[in-house]
């Protein structure tokens, strides 16, 4: 099984150019404010997974219009899938309501255990995709994650929301999104000022590519950049 890594929505044209031909998690909340994403770069991405961007909107005090999000997502019919509008406040009843209306559902570690079975049934109707998410901080939840993944049928595609730290040691995670790839490139640029930001973005994309091309069932916990700093990455960790 090959692990697929979706790069979180680019914030500017330089980042969008670095993400060309790569899988991209496209945020409705961000794309609506960044018209260059749809008009100039959308067709250049290798794959697209649509997301509402509810988390970013929540941090800014805004709300996502469910009807507008659905109309936008359905305007990209070639997308791998569309995630249901999530309940950022952690209201599992509200999350279930959104999942029943549109998009593939997500099961969180804050949700009642009994909601997993009906979410799997909804996933069956939505392209056999199911999201799994952890409430921050996400550390120390490996046992819960392993138990949950064991309960999910093998034919369902599991997308781990921002679970890159677990993806290499939990082979049932089929894909995850990197929410920090361009931020890490900014940090690397500060540590290595002789590189351009475009070059550090390329380094981070290469990191994601190597994770994506690796068979996670044969990789140990300490391999493939696990725990590596951005400076170590630049020096060639994982080659």
Whether 114 maps to a domain, the answer reads: yes
Whether 227 maps to a domain, the answer reads: no
Whether 88 maps to a domain, the answer reads: yes
Whether 136 maps to a domain, the answer reads: yes
pTM of the model: 0.83
The DSSP secondary-structure symbol of 45 reads S
Residues 98 and 126: beta-carbon distance below 8 Å? no
Q: Is the dihedral of CA 94, 96, 100, 106 positive or negative?
A: positive
Whether 225 maps to a domain, the answer reads: no
Average pLDDT, the chain: 83
Q: What is the pLDDT of residues 140-193, one digit of tens each?
A: 888 999 999 999 999 999 999 988 889 888 889 999 999 889 989 999 999 999
Residues 215 and 28: beta-carbon distance below 8 Å? no
| Domain at 35, CATH number | 3.20.20.105
Work out how many domains the chain is built from and give that number: 1
Residues 6+ apart with CB under 8 A from 143: none
The DSSP secondary-structure symbol of 220 reads -
Of 1-10, 12-21, 72-81, 116-125, the poorest mean pLDDT is in 1-10
pLDDT on residue 62: 61
Residues 88 and 55: beta-carbon distance below 8 Å? yes
Of 61-65, 133-137, 182-186, 227-231, the poorest mean pLDDT is in 227-231
Whether 115 maps to a domain, the answer reads: yes
In this predicted structure, the answer to whether residue 227 has a pLDDT above a threshold of 60 is no
Whether 99 maps to a domain, the answer reads: yes
Whether 226 maps to a domain, the answer reads: no
In this predicted structure, the answer to whether residue 214 has a pLDDT above a threshold of 70 is no
pLDDT on residue 56: 62
In this predicted structure, the answer to whether residue 113 has a pLDDT above a threshold of 60 is yes
What is the domain extent for residue 42? 4-179
> What is the enclosing helix (H) or strand (E) of 182?
helix 181-191
More confident call, 138 vs 114: 114
Using the structure block, give the residue that is written with the tokens 């018209």. Answer: 35
């Amino acid at each position: 099984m090959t692990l697929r890594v979706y790069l979180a929505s680019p914030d500017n044209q330089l980042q969008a150019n670095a993400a060309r031909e790569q899988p991209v998690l496209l945020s409705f909340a961000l794309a609506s404010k960044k018209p260059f994403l749809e008009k100039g770069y959308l067709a250049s991405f290798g794959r697209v997974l649509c997301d509402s961007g509810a988390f970013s909107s929540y941090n800014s005090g805004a709300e996502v219009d469910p009807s507008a999000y659905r109309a936008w997502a359905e305007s990209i019919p070639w997308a791998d899938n569309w995630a249901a509008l999530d309940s950022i406040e952690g209201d599992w009843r509200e999350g279930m309501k959104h999942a029943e209306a549109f998009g593939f559902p997500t099961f969180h570690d804050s949700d009642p255990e009994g909601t997993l079975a009906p979410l799997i049934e909804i996933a069956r109707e939505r392209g056999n995709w199911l999201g799994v998410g952890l409430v921050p901080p996400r550390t120390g939840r490996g046992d819960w994650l392993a138990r949950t993944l064991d309960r999910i049928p093998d034919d369902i595609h599991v997308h781990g929301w921002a679970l890159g730290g677990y993806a290499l040691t939990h082979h049932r995670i089929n894909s995850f999104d990197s929410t920090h790839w361009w931020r890490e490139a900014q940090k690397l640029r500060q540590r290595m000022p002789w590189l351009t930001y475009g070059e550090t973005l390329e380094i981070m994309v290469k990191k994601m590519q190597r994770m994506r091309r690796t068979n996670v069932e044969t990789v140990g916990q300490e391999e493939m950049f696990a725990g590596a700093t951005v400076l170590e990455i630049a020096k060639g960790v994982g080659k």
